[in-house]
Structure 1
């Protein structure tokens, strides 16, 4: 069962078990609205990332409840961190969505930043119960970005040692990459997945031109294959939206409000 505790700011900590029995910890920004938006953080990040916190606060101010949570193995959630894990994190998102659906909440949108952007798109490709998806700086080709993070000849080095330990500047291990986890990432085909997103599902992709981690050309590639897609490129913006949090919040909120109005119009 999910548990909730109140903290001084009026936000609730909610704990939701995933399908593997691990407790996922999240913060619910509660409004009187039954409409809720779920927020998904990126690689080696948490629900406390500036982008997650600022989007949740803006949604709350805009009249939507919002839930930002840690994937298993990240932040406060149980489980061990794994490189890859795209479909397993999609399972985590499924558990969160089912929890709020069973509580008679309407999931108005799912939003993901960076790797979280991939997770919300994968979710939309597999399940067709969410009508609004926001991909913030997600990666189109998951075979890219590996050399930058893990170095050259990565597969050969993994086969020799059985794994690679990625260390920080002080020499302690940040995380371990196994052959299985690397293959899981390499076999996750975003192009193929996006072809399965329903044309009823509205998708917004936001990306910055100065993103040094994932090129904004990835956003353009998403726009070419997702059927019901809006593309918004922010000039001068980096991967973390360092000086552009306000721009991001404005674009995302406008899109969700517009999508929400359209949904309510079609059901009235």
Structure 2
């Protein structure tokens, strides 16, 4: 997975810090924005895990710090729910102008409420997911319930949330109490996935029921049993990410890969951009590329990496076959291969440009094997078919069809 640190400007001219995570083995077919929970930030563990699960399925994810949080500019006390929604709108504009408009919005807790409001204003968004979200933005008020009177009287108060002090202004309370979640969600009319834990003690499960009832079909509900509100268990957040990715694929515009048809053992196709190549071998589809240093995208192994892989795989299989026939206790084989160009051993003139392809192979053998058995297995490694192919002269016959 590759990532890029980026910034974009919110409606107040403040720079918001973001992280754009991209698939490493393919072009992103879709873009998503993740909105974190109230007073959290883009680097929260659950946010990372969910984003990585989406990225692994070809969905690029932009996660950012709302105004006044994390690495973003601005003062938190000057923000409210409406400004969070505005930040999401600006994040979507940033993606559309520099990459591709987001088609999926994912929000956790109050961030979930925010993505519902943002999605209603973003035509490009085709699917929305909320995780542990309240059915009303005003629900967040319970986090500073004991300070509400002071806020209403003094206009603001310092409250402690999650062990950190934040200043909450009356404008914030007025704003969250005025948000018409039911009407917005009823009018959203986009595929919607509600994810919630029955054991959520911060945002009760009744919120998920209300959100589901407000929304129109197609809508789905997933219960993440035994999970806490913040998804502190990595297994829970990774599971959630995989569920979202699988659900969203039904609604995202994912180009169908047109694999080359062949009656031969292997076929390789390449377009007119870059070096990324598609390999069809029987029922298997592989990707080859060149490293970025060589002008490629590094979406897959290089051609020589595949040659080295063939040698390593053939060596391991040959040793496995031989040990099984001998009924030796070979539990595991690991073959390491490096490829390079070196001067031929019989070349007297080292200044000459005569070099040969050299494969350096190192083998790890695991099991209850004596020294004689290990020595014999090392000899057998040289007898693997690919080893013989690489070490003897071959013939390549080429024709146009």
Q: TM-score range by the shorter chain?
A: 0.7 to 0.9
Q: CA deviation at 1:246?
A: 2.8
Give secondary structure in 2 for the equivalent of 1:183: helix
1:160 Cα deviation after fit: 2.9
* Structure 1 residue 264 displacement after superposition: 6.1
Contact persistence 1:216–1:233 (CA under 8 A): no
SS at match of 1:133: strand
Match for residue 162 of structure 1 among 142, 155, 163: 155
Match of 1:180 among 168, 171, 184: 171
Could you say which residue in structure 1 is the equivalent of 2:328?
A: none
Report the CA distance shift for 1:153/1:239 in structure 2 as closer, same or farther (over 3 A): closer
* Offset of residue 164 of structure 1: 1.5
Aligned partner of residue 7 in structure 2, secondary structure: strand
Shift in alpha-carbon separation, 1:129–1:33, aligned structure 2, 3 A:
closer
CA contact (8 A) 1:145 1:213 kept: no
State the TM-score, normalizing by the size of structure 1: 0.85
Q: Which residue, out of 228, 235, 246, partners 2:238?
A: 246
Q: Residues 59-208 of structure 1 correspond to what in structure 2 (within 5 A)?
A: 59-82=54-77, 85-146=80-141, 148-152=142-146, 154=148, 156-167=149-160, 174-198=165-189, 201-208=190-197
Matched residue SS, 1:212:
coil
Residue correspondence of structure 1 range 49-64 to structure 2 within 5 A: 49-64=44-59
**Does residue 220 of structure 2 align to residue 226 of structure 1?**
no
Q: Which runs of 5+ in 1 are unaligned?
A: 1-8
Please give the TM-score of this superposition, normalised by the length of structure 2: 0.58
User: Mind listing any 5+ residue stretches in structure 2 that lack a counterpart?
Assistant: 257-401
Comparing 96-105 and 19-28, the one that deviates more? 96-105
Distance 2:96 2:153 in 1: 46
Distance, in Å, in 2 between the alignment partners of 1:160 and 1:224 is 36
SS in 2 for 1:144: helix
Counterpart in 2 of 1:213?
202
Size of the aligned set, in residue pairs, is 250
Look up the SS of the partner of 1:166 in the other structure.
strand
